[in-house]
Amino acid sequence: MMKKVFSGSVFSVQGGGPSVGGPLLGFGLKTENRKLKTSFAFTLLELLVVIAIIAILAGLILSTAGFIQKKGAMARAEAEIAALSAALESYKADNGDYPTNANSGVASNSLYGALSPTSGKVYFEFNKGMTSSLGVVDPFGTNYGYKYPGDSNRSGTNFFDLWSTAGAPANSNAWIKNW
């Protein structure tokens, strides 16, 4: 018996005449049903849907990571303002008054010079990332604000104002302040 494959079906050639039994395909050829191998593959549409879902999930994760970084920077700025305030109170206890910023163009430069002098008592150890040529820098990359005497409407007559803009616009409620 000789077998020939023709467009997915297998044909048998039998004898010389028409075969008996089974469907006749013509002149002695009858079909044999066999399972064809099917290959499993993803369609282009399925791949695009999976890629879109992955992109959406990645976007959600990245936006959450940015929020967490900003929240961490705000917590760090609050802690640094509290530590700087304690250092300023210690400075006042030793010197009778808070450091002034009248002679400096950048208020945080006078703050740095008073709390971490080159000689004498050091009131605050500034970390490497907290200072720049512009003065004392907050976690957002901008200078801390320092003013003495502070605004008498909110701070009283003998107190200082210390703040971080937290990357927010001027006079925003998002500022981190000691008052």
Read off the pLDDT of each residue in 86-103 and give the average, rounded to a whole number.
Answer: 82
Output the pTM of the full model. 0.62
**Between 175 and 45, the higher pLDDT residue:** 45
Residues 21-80: pLDDT tens digits? 555 555 555 556 666 667 678 899 999 999 999 999 999 998 888 889 889 999 998 999
**Cα 49–chain centre separation:** 25
**Residue 10 confidence (pLDDT) above 80:** no
DSSP string, 135-168: EEB-TTSSBPEEESS--HHHH-SS--EEEE-TTP
Q: Can you give the pLDDT at residue 5?
A: 47
Residue whose tokens read 């990245």: 62
Q: Can you give the pLDDT at residue 142?
A: 84
**Residue 85 confidence (pLDDT) above 60:** yes
| Gap between the terminal Cα atoms of the chain | 100
pLDDT grade for 161, boundaries at 50, 70 and 90? confident
Please tell me the distance from the alpha carbon of residue 60 to that of residue 76, in angstroms, as a whole number.
25
Residues 106-126: pLDDT tens digits? 567 778 888 888 888 888 888
**Residue 83 confidence (pLDDT) above 50:** yes
Q: Determine the topology of domain 78-177 in CATH.
A: Glycoprotein, Type 4 Pilin (3.30.700)
Can you give the residue ranges of every domain in the chain? 2-32, 78-177
**Distances from the Cα of 30 to the Cα of 10, 56, 110, angstroms:** 9, 55, 102
